[in-house]
Structure 1
Amino acid sequence: MVSHSERPALLIAEDDDMLREMVSLALARAGYEVIVAASGEEALAILEDSVVLSGLYTDIQLPGSIDGWQLGTAFHVRWPSLPIVYASARKRRGEQVVSTGIFFEKPFRLERVVAAFAKHQRKTALAA
């Protein structure tokens, strides 16, 4: 799958159907093309399929053998300057920056996820 859209494309890896839909809808309304995956393996296959992406949102605990940290690492290796938003219901002291992105504790406000990607997009536009 290759993104042909003029809009920046984000990969959403989230196994909770309702949350995946809510995050996807919020980001689509903010002007992003959204590509979704319900497992780490599905998301990794999308990464490996030459998709041009502008960012990654991933749940930490995904079904299968690939978790969100591993997915984030694979994404970061391919696109080291692009934003990654990690999310989990496990306690990590709220929102915090991790080495390759930002972490949100569930539940979170959707506006904060949108703002995290928008902030990176603004920085990129200013640098151009």
Structure 2
Amino acid sequence: MEHQQKSPPRVTRFDGLDFAPRFAFPQMCKVVEVAGLADRSALAGGFARFTAAEIPWQLRYDELILVLEGEFTVETAEGRLSAGPRDTIWLPAGTKVTYIAENALVFYSLQPASWASEEAAL
């Protein structure tokens, strides 16, 4: 396998980001990735805005969520995890969740960044 060099270090300015609808509920979540497969990295990360959201999902990756604005709740089989600004939520791969928020901005980091392409290969 040919080794490809990762992207060089950089700064991404929040004011220049272009959020796009995500999930099957585009009115509830808009996302922008700031690092990931395009950087040839196993780690992905970005920002997500949730508005009047209640989004069911099953994680196919490990995820760490940092709440920047608002209140963000993740419902799991083990219970509800609620977090406010500067709080984090850790979620292991395989967890069934419902993301819940009236109005929240979060930063997420997940691994592997290739989860969607790995899923498509199955």
TM-score normalized by the length of structure 1: 0.31
Specify which structure has the higher proportion of strand.
2
Higher relative contact order structure (alpha carbons within 8 Å, sequence separation ≥ 6): 2
Question: Radius of gyration: which is bigger?
Answer: 2
